[in-house]
Amino acid sequence: MNETHQIKGEFEFVEKFLPEFMEQYEKAEAKLPYHINVIDELNVKAKENAHTRILEKLLQQKNPENQKFEIFESFIQFIQGKSVFFRNIHVEYPEIERKEFMDLRIQERNKYAIIIENKIHNAPNTRHQLANYINKTLEKGYEHQKIYIIYLGENDPKEQAWGNGNYKEVFKDRYIRLSYKKDIYQWLKNNVLPDTKLKDKYLLSALEQYIDHLEGMFDLRNINNKMNMELQEFIKKEWGLNDNLSENYHKLSEKEEEIEKEVEKVKKQINILKREIVKSLFGKLKESLNKDYPDLEHIDDPEQAGVYIQKEGRTITVWLGEENNNLYCLVGVKNKDESLPLKLIKKLESTPLLITDEGGGGVTMRVKWLKSISFEELNSDGLDFIKKVIDCVKNTQCNE
């Protein structure tokens, strides 16, 4: 059997099942009742910073009558029910804001500071990310025992996010990971929504829309129940499921594994093609940068384009890259023991060139995630953008 026939044979199961399943899916979907969600329509998949802004607004809610931060208090009570170590937090007059490249920092002077890192879509951590946030908070005068970390995601952060010290051990009791599906969604639906007053119509409508948006993300909308039942009946019939529950479970597990293996083969080839395209696109960008900045040392990475600049005894890096289908421009330092010059940081912070939306790196880097995930204008807008940043770094003055 030649390789072509072998590959075709491996995909016969998916070739037969998938078209028939999708036909049933489209028929069932066509019968769904009309449904609209404003968040769904504005953005097919809201990024993590969009979810952070919504959470920030909700936690900032304050009752005008008793001046209490009712939703934030509810949030803390919810967490205190999961960890006794958070019971030292008493809410009075919190400052709730996105600060110093953190997703959210909530603080009450000399009482507590809470760092919230949002990874609803499981984006990777930048190097020393949590360590940098902790250091920034320590610089504000908070002692270790008054700093708490709430990590919103399905998996704990990798070791490198905690830095080279022992922060993971130091904060093990004042760290908690919450799942959006199992925790945040359930808290909003079961704790916050029922206590929201009807007269707060904008808050009420925002909560209902956001909860519904999360239900859509996690396939929890009740309107899909009938469709799901029809599709499950189709699967039972196609795969010969019977009254033997144990046998059915094992058969479903085998089919799931079979599908995953075959899908992974397809995804592997797709990713190889995507990486080759990225390399070609960045190759063109490198040619332009080499032409315009022949005197600078260039980054030797096929999937990045940028340069090294000597500045005040430091080697500063400026580059354009791609991660998780998003383009970014980053200014950092080549050596991990160095930091960006403070006056350069101030210049970068005072210009729209570099605004941290997601991620960040304290004193070691400044990053801007570009709005578009399209590479079509990489060699025009992308090149123009990186040139402005290079000039800013070289001259320590940025022009809007």
CATH of the domain at 304: 3.30.1460
Q: What is the mean pLDDT of residues 33-41?
A: 87
pLDDT confidence tier of residue 394, bands split at 50, 70 and 90: confident
**195 and 89 housed in the same domain:** yes
pLDDT at 4 over 60: no
Q: What is the mean pLDDT of residues 336-346?
A: 72
Task: Describe the strand order of the beta sheet including 175-178 as a list of residue ranges.
Answer: 95-97, 104-108, 112-118, 147-152, 175-178
pLDDT at 208 over 50: yes
pLDDT confidence tier of residue 12, bands split at 50, 70 and 90: low
pTM: 0.68
**Residue 348 is encoded by which pair of tokens?**
């970068």
Counting every residue written for the chain, the total comes to 400
Q: How many beta carbons lie within 10 A of that of residue 214, not counting itself? A: 22
**61 and 182 housed in the same domain:** yes
Q: What is the mean pLDDT of residues 119-128?
A: 80
Q: What is the mean pLDDT of residues 214-229?
A: 90
Picking from 162, 181, 216, the residue at the C-terminal end of a domain is 216
pLDDT reported for residue 229: 92
Model confidence pLDDT, tens digit, residues 265-322 = 888 888 899 889 888 888 888 898 899 899 999 988 888 888 998 877 788 888 888 7
pLDDT at 164 over 90: no
Which residues have a Cβ under 8 Å from the Cβ of 114 and sit 6 or more positions away? 89, 104, 105, 106, 107, 147, 148, 149, 150
**Proportion of the chain in helix, strand, coil states, percent, rounded to 5:** 50, 15, 35
Picking from 168, 183, 216, the residue at the C-terminal end of a domain is 216
Residue 7's domain comprises 3-34+225-238
Residue 310 lies in a domain: yes
Q: Average model confidence (pLDDT) for the chain?
A: 83
pLDDT reported for residue 360: 43
Cβ distance 302 to 327 under 8 Å? Answer: no
pLDDT reported for residue 116: 95
Model confidence pLDDT, tens digit, residues 73-109 = 999 999 999 999 999 999 999 999 887 668 899 999 8
pLDDT confidence tier of residue 25, bands split at 50, 70 and 90: confident
Residue 251 lies in a domain: no
pLDDT at 55 over 80: yes
Residue 39 lies in a domain: no
**7 and 108 housed in the same domain:** no
Cα 194 from Cα 74, distance rounded (Å): 12
**Residue 251 is encoded by which pair of tokens?**
């058969």
Percent of the chain whose predicted confidence (pLDDT) is above 70? 84
Residue 267 lies in a domain: no
Q: What is the mean pLDDT of residues 36-57?
A: 81
**152 and 200 housed in the same domain:** yes
pLDDT at 124 over 90: no
**Domain total for the chain?**
3
pLDDT reported for residue 127: 73
